[in-house]
Structure 1
Amino acid sequence: MPGEQTEEQEDPALAAERAHLAESRAALRRMREHAAGLSADVAADWVSRQFLESLLDQRVAALADHPDTPLFFGRLDHDDDANDLPRTMYVGRRHVHDGDEGRPLVLDWRAPVSRAFYQAGPADPMGWRRRRRFGFRGGELTAYEDEPLDGRALGPSAILTEEIERPRTGPMRDIVATIQPEQDVIVRADLPVSVCVQGAPGTGKTAVGLHRAAYLLFTHRERLARGGVLIVGPNRAFLAYISAVLPALGEVRVDQATVEDLLGAPLAAEPAPVAALKGEARMADVLRRALWAHVAKPAEGLVVTRGAARFRLADHEIREMTAALRGTTRYGNGRDMLAQRLAHQILVRMEQRGHAPDDRDQDQVARSRPVKQLLDQVWPKVTPEQVLFRLLSDAAFLAAAAKGVLSEAEQEALRWAKPYRSHRSAKWTAADRALLDELADLVARTPSLGHLVVDEAQDLSAMQLRALGRRCASGSATVLGDLAQGTTPWSATSWKEVLAHLGQEGEVTELTLGFRVPGPVLDYAARLLPHIAPELEAPRSLRAGAGSLTVRAAAGDLPAAVAAAAREALGREGSIGLIVPDADVAVYTAALAEAGLEHGVLGPESDGAGRLLVVPATVAKGLEYDHVIVAEPAAIAAAEERGLARLYVVLTRAVTTLTVLHDADLPPELTA
C-alpha cells in the first residue's frame, strides 16, 4: 500500500509518532490530575458546592485514559504559510493540550476543524496536503498510512479496512477512526435538525446515532446539560452492547433506556391484533374524548360564605367558564384554572358590595370547600389509570369516546372479556402503557429533553412514537432503523409517518453501503428483501468476504451439528453468536453443555456472559458477532407473523462468518 510503514522497517517517522503518543498520554494524565486537584470549596453555598463537585467529577471521568484505546487515530498536514492552522493537526477521541504552554497535542474529532479529516478528498482537499491514518494493536501504535490529497487516485486504505474488520469481543466500539463522509454529514447535522436514518445492516446507523449524540454534546454542551440527551433502544441486551461507546468518547452523562423503562413494564400480554389496534394513532382521539368526557355541566350554582355574607355564581356562569377552558389546556391545569376563575368572580361580587379583597382572599376562596365540591362535580380529578380502566371495561363509555373513530368490531376487540375489579388491580399490557402515557400528557405536560436518539424505531407503534415525541417536543431527535427489519405487527412502512408521529420534521437519509457485514452474507440475506420490503434498495458491502458464508443441512442431528460448528468457531478469533428459535433455546444450550462448551445465554434484560452466547432470535436485533451460527431458519421464520423480517435480522448479525445449519427445508424465499 503506498505510504504505509510498519514496525519491522524501524521507520524514524513511526518512532516520532510513538513519541507524540507518549507525550499526549502524559499530557492527558496531567490534565486529569489537575482536574482531580480542583476544589469545590470556592462555592458560596452548599447547593453550589454540590453542583460544582458533580461537574468536577464528570470532568475527571471524561479525562480518563483507556490504555487499549488509541488516543489519536489520524492527522492532517499542510504547507500553506497563509493558513492560520497548525501545519500538523492530530485528530483523536478528545482534546489534549500541553499543560504548560497550552499547545494542542490532539484535537477532538468533533471540533469544526476536525471535519476535514473525514470530508477532505482529492476533489476538495479543504486546504490540507495529506491525511495520515494510524494503525494500533491495543494501545500501541504499530503502523501509519499516508493519503495524498492532491488528486492522485489511491486504492482502499489497508488500515481503515483492518480497523473495520477487526474482530470484536464484548460491547460495541466507537467508530471515530472509520467514520465515512456520508456518515459524518449525519453526525454533524445541527442540533435543531431532526435526522432520520434508514440504514441497511452493517451500515453503521447505530454508531452514527451514538456519535451524533457525542457531537451534539460537544457542540451544545450548556444547552444540552439543561435538557439532557437520552438513548432509547429495543431491550436491555442492546443497551448493554452499546454502553461503552459514549464513555470511550468522554461522554459519561447520557441516559439510556428502553421504551418499557420510560412507559412502565407490562404486567400482562395480549393478542397481537389487539396490541396493534391499541398502538394505532386513532387511539389518541379516543383517549382525548374519554378524558374530557369527565367534565360535566354544573347541576346548580356556587355559593361561598365569607363571614356573614353569602356570594353566588349562577350555574350558567359556571358553564361559560368551563366551556371556555375545556379542551384549550391540559386537564389538570384546567381544573386549577377553573378554581381560580371561580374565586375571581366571587371576589368581583365582594368588591361590588364594598369589600376590599386581595390575592390571599382569592387563594382562600379557590381552596374553600364549596369550590372544591363544585370542582369534584364539574371537573373531577382523574388519573390515567382510572380513565383507561373505564374505557376498557365500560362498553357505553367506550362507544361514546370511539364514535366515528373505531368500528363496533374494533370496540369489541378492545373491551376486556373479564374486567378487573378496579384500576388498581388491572394488569396493563405494553400497548396499554403507551395509552396511559398519552393520558398522562393530556392531564399534565410531559417534560421535554434536549435531544432524543431512538434506535430500531421501525418497531414502535404510533402511540409509542407519540410517547417518545413528547419527550423531545421542544428538542430534536435522531431516528434510526431499517424498515426491512420491522418485526412487530405494527412495524412502520414509512419514515415520514414515523417522524409525523414523533411530531418532528426532518429529512430521511438512506445508508446502503455496508462496512461490517461481508458481501456474500449480505447478498444471501437480501434474497428476503423483495418479500419484506420491496421498496428498499438492496444493500451493498465494501467487503468481498470470500468464504464468509456456509449453508448446509445437518445429518439428522441438528443440535449436535450446531455444537460442532460452535467448537470450530471457538478456534477462531472473535465473538460467537449462536442464534436459535426462541422456543429451542434450552435444546441448544443442552447440546453445548453436553459437548463441554462454555457458553452464556442472552436475554432481553441481560447481556449474558462468555465468548460464546446462545441468542434467542427475538433478542438479536442491533447486535453483532464476529461469527454467527443460525440454527433452523425455517423455525425462526414460522414463529411469528413477520418471521421473514426476523430471519433477515438474524442473517445479518455476522461480521466475519455466517454458518446456517438446518434440518427442515429452508424457507423458499431463501432458495429462490
Structure 2
Amino acid sequence: MEHDNTGGTHLLDYETELDRERKHLGSIREHIERQIQASGADIKLTDDFTELALNVLRTKEVEQLRKSRVRPYFAKLDFLEKDQPYPEQAYIGRFGLYERSTMEPLVLDWRSPMANLYYEHSFTDVPVEVKRGSSLRFDVDRKRQFEMENNEIERFFDMTAASGTNRLLLERLQQRGEQKLRDIVETIQAEQNAVLRADARQALIVQGAAGSGKTTIALHRLAFLAYSYRDRGTFDNFLIIAPNRLFIDYISDVLPDLGIEGVVQTTWEDCLIPFIPLPKKYRFTDTSAKTALFLEHGSSGKAGLPHKPETILQASRLRGSMAMKKLLDDFIDKRVGQMVPELDLVLSKAHRMQHREIQRKFHTDFRHYPYMQRRKRLLTVLKQWKEDCLKEAVQTLESRIKQGEYAATERRVAEVREQYRRKFEEYCEKVKGVEIASFYRNIVSKPANIAKLIQYAGADFAHYDAERIAAYFADRKETHPYELEWEDIASAFYLSYRFYGLGKTKSYSHIIVDEAQDFAPFQMFALRLLSSGGSMTILGDLAQSIYPYRGLTNWDDLREGVFETAVSIERLKKSYRSTVEIMTAANRVLRHWDNPHITPAEPVLRHGDEPKTERFASEDEAMRAVAALAERLAHGGMPNIAVIDKTVAHCKSVHKKLTGLGADARLIAGKDTRYEGGMSVVPIYLSKGMEFDAVIVLNPSAAVYDSSRPEDVKLLYVAMTRALHRLYVYHWDELSGLFDSL
C-alpha cells in the first residue's frame, strides 16, 4: 500500500488523473514481466523432491502472473485506518502482487481481508478481520473502478459515500449475455460478499432469488476458501454438484479464471452411483419419464399406467425423507446382528473357536470398519486360525503315524485336510454377506415396512397408502428386475456406505450443491457423507422447486437429522439478471403460489422494455414470428435467445418447425453436454440456472398451465426469469390465468 499525504486526489482534473492511472498500470505491468522472468528462471530440471515441489509452486506463480498481465487490477481504494494519521491507497485485483525484495503489496488479492473495504456498502467504520475475533476499523474515502479495453484503462468511475452509485455494476448489467458464465469479482455486492466469506466449518444454505448470482457466488466461495486456508492445507479438494452436464459446461470457465484447479464437477447421480457395488446388469433410470409424467398438465389422470401417479409420487417422496434412513438403519442393524451365527467354529474335537470369541472379533475388534470389511477381516482371521489348526493337526497325525499308531499315511493326512476345509467353508457360508439391490428391494416391497416408513415420516405423510406403495415397489421388482429408479440412489448409496464404506476416497473439504431445492433431505444427507465435517454450501430457490415428486418447499427440512452441526441460512433477495419490468412480471405470476417461505425477488434499478404478449391465429404463424424475431434480436446484438416450452416433446416439435423455416436453432433435450449459445429451444426444467439475452415463452395456455397448480406457477416463473433484457410471450391458444395481472 502507498501513503497519500495529499488529502486525496478527487480535486484533480479527470484527464490528468486518467493519465496518472495509465502510467501506474504501465509500471505494474513492467513489474509483472520482471516477476515472470525471475520466477521462470528459478524453475530448473531437478530430481530433488523439495525442488520439484517448489517448481510446482513457481509454475503456478508464473501462470497467475501471466493471467494478471492484461488486467492486473480492477479497483483502487482510498482509506484511513482508525486512529492513524495518514490515508492510504490500495489496488485490488484477481491475484495479489508483491514487491519481492520487501514483500510490500502492490495489488491486493480480492479474497484478502482488506478487500472487504471495497465490497462492503458502508464507507465509514468498516471492520476488517485481521485474525479470528480481532478486527481493525477503517473509513473509506473513495472506491475507484476501472474499465479497460484493448489492454488500456479506458475510463474510471469513482464511488463515494455521497455518490453511492455503482457505475461499473450498472455497466455490467447492461451487457449482453455470453455463452458461458463469467466471474464477477469486480462487482460482488455486499450481501453476496457475506455469503462467499461465511464460516466454512458448518453447512450454509443460501436461499437466492432468481438472478441473485447464487451459482457465481458459490464458485467464488471456493476460490475464497482455497485462498484463506492455503497455509493450513485443510481446503484443498472440492466437489461441485450441478443439475446436469450442460450446466457444468455453462460454468466451466469461472474456476480457471479465478485460479482454482482440480475441482470435481459432476451431477448428484454420477457422484454417488460409482460407490454402489451392483452387478453390471443393473442400471439406474434417469428422471426424464417421471419428469414428463408430472410436469405435463393433466398427468394425474394419465391412462395406461399400472399405478396411479399419486402412488408414484408418494413412493418418490417417501424415499427422499429422512424416515428412509431410519427404516434402513433398522434393517442394517438387524442384518449386522445376524451376520455372525451363534455357532462355534468346530474343525475337530481338538479345535473349536467359541462363537462368543468370534462375535467379539467382529463387533469389538473390527468395530471401526464398515460391516462387509469386518466380515472380510473376520474370515481372513478365521482362515489363518484354520490353517494354524490344520498344521498342528497334521503334525500330530504324522507323529502318530511314525509311532505306528496308524497304518495309513498320505490318505489319512488328506482326509484331515479335507475335513478342516469342509468344516471351515460350511461355517463361512453361515457368515452372511449382503447384496445391496435385493436387500433394499426386499425391504420396500413389504406393506408392513412401508407402513413403518410412513409412521417414521410423520403427520405430513400419514395419508399415504402403504399397500399401494409396497405394490408399486413389488411390481417394479418383478417387471424390472435389474432396474432401479433415480430415487433409489440415495438408499442404495447409504446401504453401500454402511456395509462397504467409501474405500480409499478422500472426504471433500467443501461441497457446493447448486439447484438444491430439487433434492430431498435424504438425498442431501447422502452427499453430506462425502464431506469433511459437513462443510457444504447449499444453494437454491424454493420458488424454482418445480418437481412435485421430489425437492423442497422449506429449507428447515434440512435442519433435522441431515447435518450433525448447526446449519445457517442466508438470503439473497436482490436480482441482478433481469430488468425491473421482467422481474415485476415474474413476481406477479409467482404470487399465485401461496408459500410463506417465499420472498419475491427485488430487482436492481435496471429498466428495459416491458414484456410483450402477442397472440397469433395459428401455431404456424407463431413459428414464423419466432424465427423473424430471433433474426432481428441477433442483428440487434442479442444473439443468445431461448425459445422455452413446457416439455421435451413440445420442444422437439417446435425445433423441427423452426429449422424447417431456416432458423439456426439448437434443441436442448436432456443429454446435452455443451451450451453453444445462439438460438436454443429448451424445456423449462433444463433452462434452470441459465440466462439468455431474450426469452420467448411459447404458448403458455390455460390448457397447459393451471393457475391452481404450484408446479405450473413455478415453471412459468423459471421460464420468465431466464431473460436478461427482453421477454416475449407468443401464443395462439387462450393464455393461462397466471398472466391475468400482466
TM-score computed with the length of structure 2 as normaliser? 0.76
Q: Deviations over 1:578-602 (max 9, x none)?
A: 2233222233323433443333333
What is the aligned counterpart of 2:344 among 293, 296, 301? 301
The answer to which of 454-463 and 601-610 deviates more is 601-610
Q: Deviations over 1:498-549 (max 9, x none)?
A: 2446415222111212222111111111123233352122221112423142
C-alpha change, 1:138 and 1:332, in structure 2 (3 Å) is farther
Q: Is the 8 A contact 2:123 2:141 kept in 1?
A: no
Residue 200 in structure 1 maps to residue 209 in structure 2: yes
What is the aligned counterpart of 2:567 among 499, 503, 506? 506
Q: How does 1:645-664 map to 2 (within 5 A)?
A: 645-664=714-733
The answer to which of 513-522 and 317-326 deviates more is 317-326
Q: CA separation in 2, counterparts of 1:286 and 1:624?
A: 41
Residue 471 in structure 1 maps to residue 472 in structure 2: no
The answer to which of 294-303 and 109-118 deviates more is 294-303
Name the amino acid aligned to 1:478.
T
Q: Is the 8 A contact 1:195 1:478 kept in 2?
A: yes
Q: CA separation in 2, counterparts of 1:143 and 1:5?
A: 17
Report the CA distance between 1:257 and its aligned residue. 1.1
Q: How does 1:115-134 map to 2 (within 5 A)?
A: 115-119=116-120, 121-124=122-125, 126-134=138-146
C-alpha change, 1:592 and 1:223, in structure 2 (3 Å) is farther
C-alpha change, 1:326 and 1:632, in structure 2 (3 Å) is farther
The answer to which of 606-615 and 86-95 deviates more is 606-615
* Equivalence for 1:358: none
Report the CA distance between 1:636 and its aligned residue. 6.6
Q: How does 1:619-634 map to 2 (within 5 A)?
A: 619-634=686-701
| Aligned-residue RMSD, C-alpha | 3.8
Determine what percentage of the aligned residue pairs are the same residue.
Answer: 26
C-alpha change, 1:37 and 1:321, in structure 2 (3 Å) is same
* Equivalence for 1:266: 284
Report the CA distance between 1:296 and its aligned residue. 4.5
Q: Is the 8 A contact 2:593 2:710 kept in 1?
A: no
* Equivalence for 2:308: none
Report the CA distance between 1:482 and its aligned residue. 0.5
Q: CA separation in 2, counterparts of 1:555 and 1:84?
A: 74
Q: How does 1:297-446 map to 2 (within 5 A)?
A: 298=341, 300-304=343-347, 310-315=350-355, 318=358, 330-336=370-376, 338-339=378-379, 373=425, 376-391=428-443, 395=445, 398=446, 402=450, 404-406=452-454, 407-417=466-476, 419=478, 426-446=482-502
**3-state DSSP of counterpart to 2:139:** coil
Residue 65 in structure 1 maps to residue 105 in structure 2: no
Which segments of 5 or more consecutive residues in structure 1 lack a partner in the other structure?
A: 351-367
Q: Is the 8 A contact 2:522 2:562 kept in 1?
A: no
Q: Is the 8 A contact 1:559 1:587 kept in 2?
A: no
* Equivalence for 2:399: none
Q: Deviations over 1:91-138 (max 9, x none)?
A: 111112345664432110001111111126244352332221222346
* Equivalence for 2:411: none
Q: Is the 8 A contact 1:73 1:92 kept in 2?
A: yes
C-alpha change, 1:297 and 1:443, in structure 2 (3 Å) is closer
* Equivalence for 1:279: 320
Larger CA Rg, structure 1 vs 2:
2
The answer to which of 164-173 and 273-282 deviates more is 273-282
* Equivalence for 1:362: none
What is the aligned counterpart of 2:245 among 236, 241, 249? 236
What is the aligned counterpart of 1:144 among 146, 156, 167? 156
Residue 523 in structure 1 maps to residue 584 in structure 2: yes
Residue 598 in structure 1 maps to residue 598 in structure 2: no
Report the CA distance between 1:323 and its aligned residue. 6.9
Q: CA separation in 1, counterparts of 2:86 and 2:350?
A: 80
Residue 644 in structure 1 maps to residue 713 in structure 2: yes
Report the CA distance between 1:331 and its aligned residue. 1.7
Q: CA separation in 1, counterparts of 2:157 and 2:669?
A: 42
**3-state DSSP of counterpart to 2:512:** strand
Residue 27 in structure 1 maps to residue 31 in structure 2: yes
* Equivalence for 1:576: 641
Tell me the matched-pair count: 637
* Equivalence for 2:511: 452
Q: CA separation in 1, counterparts of 2:125 and 2:636?
A: 42
**3-state DSSP of counterpart to 1:196:** strand
Q: Deviations over 1:633-659 (max 9, x none)?
A: 237746998232122111101111111
Q: CA separation in 2, counterparts of 1:369 and 1:644?
A: 68
Name the amino acid aligned to 1:311.
H
Q: Is the 8 A contact 1:298 1:374 kept in 2?
A: no
Q: Is the 8 A contact 2:441 2:477 kept in 1?
A: no
C-alpha change, 1:266 and 1:349, in structure 2 (3 Å) is closer
The answer to which of 579-588 and 120-129 deviates more is 120-129
Q: CA separation in 1, counterparts of 2:560 and 2:232?
A: 25
What is the aligned counterpart of 1:12 among 1, 13, 16? 16
Q: CA separation in 2, counterparts of 1:388 and 1:409?
A: 18
Q: CA separation in 2, counterparts of 1:81 and 1:293?
A: 65
* Equivalence for 2:309: none
C-alpha change, 1:641 and 1:197, in structure 2 (3 Å) is closer
Q: CA separation in 2, counterparts of 1:625 and 1:4?
A: 39
What is the aligned counterpart of 1:552 among 600, 610, 614? 614
Name the amino acid aligned to 2:690.
L
* Equivalence for 2:220: 211
C-alpha change, 1:138 and 1:607, in structure 2 (3 Å) is farther
Q: Is the 8 A contact 2:235 2:510 kept in 1?
A: no
* Equivalence for 1:365: none
Residue 94 in structure 1 maps to residue 95 in structure 2: yes
The answer to which of 170-179 and 407-416 deviates more is 407-416
The answer to which of 328-337 and 547-556 deviates more is 328-337
* Equivalence for 2:134: none
Q: Is the 8 A contact 1:260 1:266 kept in 2?
A: no
Which segments of 5 or more consecutive residues in structure 2 lack a partner in the other structure?
A: 1-8, 127-137, 274-282, 291-311, 391-419, 455-465
